[in-house]
Amino acid sequence: MAPERRQRRCNAAELLSRRSGCAHDAGSILRGNMRLLRTLLLQDNRSFIKVWSKCSKSPIMYENGKIYFENYLNCYSCLHSVPQVLYKLPQRSKLEKFEDALLCQSPLENVFTQPSDHKPSLLTLTANGWLYRLSAETGETLQKVYLSSNVKFRYLGWDVPQETFYIKSVQNKESSLARQAGITHNALMHLAIFNVFPLQIVGILEINRNVFGNGVTDVVLSQGAIVVSYSNKSVKLYSFEHILQKHLTERLTLGKQSSLLEGKTVGDFPFGVPRNIHITDCPPVLFEVLCFNNSVHIGGYPWHFIYTPPQKNHKGTYHVCSLKDSTLAINGVQNMNCDSLESDAMSFHPDDSGRIIHVGPNTINVLKLVGDPSSNVQSRLVKDFSMVTHRDSRPSQPVTVTSSGRTVRRRFHQLDDDPDQETFRMVEYEDELDLLAAVVTDGGEGEGRARIQLYDNQSGQLLRRAALHEPWDETFRHDLFFEKDTIVHLEQKNTTFCCHVYKL
């Protein structure tokens, strides 16, 4: 028998030399680079240092290595050792201000007629009804579409997979004077659906109370379904493909004439984009569930959904059920039994593994569904691994005796997310490095402090810690992003917004 081959570790120089001497496809080179970066990041002699801070009077946004200030007018790149200005756009009037924005990048395998379609772009929606496609590198206007002078569109959102996005209008709410006069508005809101790569209109539809019911409170497009929330705590899913096949009156093309506009050009001012999807009767319901806060998550393998029933006795629990027949999975009721100001959260893992991640104040559980989709056997929910904080296990005494002999009785027990003890605040997933980054706070020294703890996404092993230098005040809002060798911390202090950037 041939002797067993012994695995040997390669250092960074050897890996780079080997890569340069062989023909590799882009995917294998990228995977090799990420393995190399992960190894460097986890070395004991490496640390994250704070390299940059900047504050603003308006909200700050971060997306894919770019920081946006002044309502998306000023853009900084995080690819350098210190963030640098990519572009600054001129000030815009109140009517022309950006209401919302999405950053999009085309798939590598797609081939387009326009070279600009291959580069990242920023989709922005203005208050006066324009949709702009800007270059993400220079801010140059690549394309613009006028939507409507009658409908006020306000919000942008991605569908999955992210090659379709929707624009949602504000809700048409009846005034008290209109109700007194007997005037009713059945049109609640409008959705405009677009494809990207290249940018193209799919259609505009109206959410009408006569069709979908009087209790509609919100609508989004997700995974090819129109998701409608109702005031009776129900959520219903309708197939957008079915709606398109049955109720589409005319296919529209941006820059081309349309009979719905009497020969005018689609997307031009002041004609905009006409409504070409007229829903005359309620589509068949694909899925319906009553849930707390109109919140339901669908995913897993086989397909399951996560929700909290609206009844009071189910408060604080999450139920995991089969999407096929709503059967509760074995061990499918999960409860952290935590007493905290911020409730625990459960959703499907963003790594598309079908696992479930349950985040509480002192424990993060990663769960997985075990079952055969081809059989009728009930799925089982089992724990893959857990991540826990280090806390004093001694229970707090309800009665304390002071030095003078006076007895003081506690009126309240300590909360599980009390700032004085180690607490998980949020968790981020870095897909390219396959790491989970959890924010842990500890106010034991009198001032709230936070650190990032990096865990292996497959085993839950704690690999390293990185401290944040600025204090962490739980009374304010915080957002944290971990991407390759960069940590970005956004915080709001009263009316001031600050951005802190750390580099490896």
Phi, psi of 244 (to 5 degrees): -65, -40
Residue-level pLDDT at 32: 84
Residue-level pLDDT at 277: 97
Residue-level pLDDT at 371: 83
Residue-level pLDDT at 1: 46
- Cα-based angle 125, 129, 131 (whole degrees, multiple of 5): 40
pTM for the whole thing? Answer: 0.86
d(CA 350, CA 457): 11
Q: Tell which residue, 258, 121, 71, has the closest CA to residue 266.
A: 258
Residue-level pLDDT at 468: 95
Given a contact cutoff of 8 angstroms between Cβ atoms, the answer to whether 454 and 467 are in contact is: no
d(CA 49, CA 65): 17
Q: Is 270 exposed, middle or buried (0-12, 13-18, 19+ CB in 10 A)?
A: exposed
d(CA 87, CA 72): 10
Helix 26-41 to helix 12-21 angle (10° resolution) is 170
Amino acid 221 reads L
Alpha-carbon distances, residue 103 vs 72, 314, 391 (angstroms):
11, 38, 40
Question: Both tokens of residue 269?
Answer: 């001012």
Query: Tens place of pLDDT for every residue, the chain, 504 residues?
Result: 445 545 556 666 666 666 655 545 666 788 888 899 999 999 999 999 999 999 999 999 999 999 999 999 999 999 999 999 999 999 999 999 999 999 998 776 667 777 777 788 999 999 999 999 999 999 999 999 999 999 999 999 999 776 899 999 999 876 666 666 666 678 999 999 999 988 999 999 999 999 999 899 999 999 899 999 999 999 999 999 999 999 999 999 999 999 999 999 999 999 999 999 999 999 999 999 999 999 999 999 889 999 999 998 898 899 999 999 999 999 999 998 877 667 889 999 999 899 999 999 999 999 999 987 777 788 999 999 999 998 765 455 555 555 565 655 555 456 655 666 889 999 999 999 999 999 999 876 667 899 999 999 999 999 999 999 999 988 899 999 999 999 999 999 999 999 999 999
